[in-house]
Amino acid sequence: MTAFTVTRTIAGQQRLSRKIIRSGKTIAIVPTMGALHDGHLSLIRRARQKADIVVVTVFVNPTQFAPHEDFDRYPRDPKGDIRKIKEAGAHIVFMPKRSDMYPHGYETYVTVEHMTGVLEGHSRPRHFRGVTTIVAKLFNIVQPDVALFGMKDYQQAMVLKRMVKDLNWPIRMIVCPTVREKDGLARSSRNRYLSPELRAQAPALYHALKTARLMVRDGITRTKDIKRKMRSIITKNAPDAEIDYIALTEMESLKPVTSVGKNTVASLAVRLGPVRLIDNMKIT
């Protein structure tokens, strides 16, 4: 099966996946919420190296948005997404309807416990319940051998790796590097909502993360010193920024550290006007 295909029903995608598996070919999945940018496309290109067939899912998942968040105005461009996915070399686009994924009376959810109560989970309660549930459903529908996610959503990637391990899915999880603009801003579908003035301030997040890494290389390892410096950089260079959190954690467990050791990740979330930006960097 090599012809480019768009599937819109769960049953249709399940039939297609079973056919691929019977043929002896492997499947890679790249889950997305659409409004694709170069970060998504880099995952698709990497997926082509890891499996015979690449399935890209496009679904704006309502269960990971709180009532006050931007579900209704989250950017959507289905025609543009299909074109970009085809050009990037994927084989299948799965674009299900909300009513099929969450039919009337739906009440089953997948939860990863402790890892989802910190960082994004602390700021956005129940967010990860929606993430893990939709990804679990997509895994069951597509039946992939490999799944690819971006490091930009670092906590999400770690939570999903834990879910796959705990539920014994035979899926290889690959976390790919964050794709950035020339000035360091992490690519995001929400970046388009930044005004020119706010967009000019946004690289302060990247500069703060780079500074954290340089401080560690210079022998400064106390978390509170690093966080204080990161905060000052953002405050100085992004005067309109509202800092949600700055955190230093152990990469796999997400546990906070008081002194930087091996595999430490610096993470932050900052609101610039109507846009909430997240970013991270492995600093050791």
Return mean pLDDT, the chain.
Answer: 97
Q: Tell me which residue has tokens 């290889």.
A: 172
Q: Tell me which residue has tokens 């360091």.
A: 184
**pLDDT of res. 74:** 93
**pLDDT of res. 2:** 65
Whether the Cβ atoms of residue 226 and residue 260 lie closer than 8 Å to each other: yes
Give whole-number Cα distances, 146 to 7, 96, 101, 120, 134, in Å.
19, 20, 22, 25, 17
pLDDT > 70 fraction of the chain, expressed in percent and rounded: 99
CATH of residue 135's domain is 3.40.50.620
pLDDT digits (tens, 9 = 90+) for 198-219: 999 999 999 999 999 999 999 9
**pLDDT of res. 157:** 97
**Residues 152 and 13 grouped into a single domain:** yes
**Residues 40 and 83 grouped into a single domain:** yes
Q: What is the residue range of 68's domain?
A: 5-176
Exposure of 81 by Cβ count < 10 A (0-12 exposed, 13-18 middle, 19+ buried)?
buried
Q: Indicate which residues carry an active-site annotation.
A: 40
pLDDT digits (tens, 9 = 90+) for 259-284: 999 999 999 999 999 999 999 999 99
Rounded CA-CA distance 29/53 in Å is: 9
Rounded CA-CA distance 32/115 in Å is: 22
Number of structural domains the chain divides into: 2
Q: Which amino acid is at 45?
A: R
Residue 238 lies in a domain: yes
Residue 243 lies in a domain: yes
**Residues 233 and 142 grouped into a single domain:** no
pLDDT digits (tens, 9 = 90+) for 142-187: 999 999 999 999 999 999 999 999 999 999 999 999 999 999 999 9
Any residues with CB less than 8 A from the CB of 168 and at least 6 apart, and which?
none
Rounded CA-CA distance 270/239 in Å is: 11
**Residues 167 and 218 grouped into a single domain:** no
pLDDT of 1 strictly over 70: no
230: phi then psi, degrees, rounded to nearest 5: -60, -45
**Residues 167 and 202 grouped into a single domain:** no
Residue 184 lies in a domain: no
pLDDT digits (tens, 9 = 90+) for 8-33: 999 999 999 999 999 999 999 999 99
pLDDT digits (tens, 9 = 90+) for 53-89: 999 999 999 999 998 898 999 999 999 999 999 999 9
Residue 183 lies in a domain: no
pLDDT digits (tens, 9 = 90+) for 114-143: 999 999 999 999 899 999 999 999 999 999
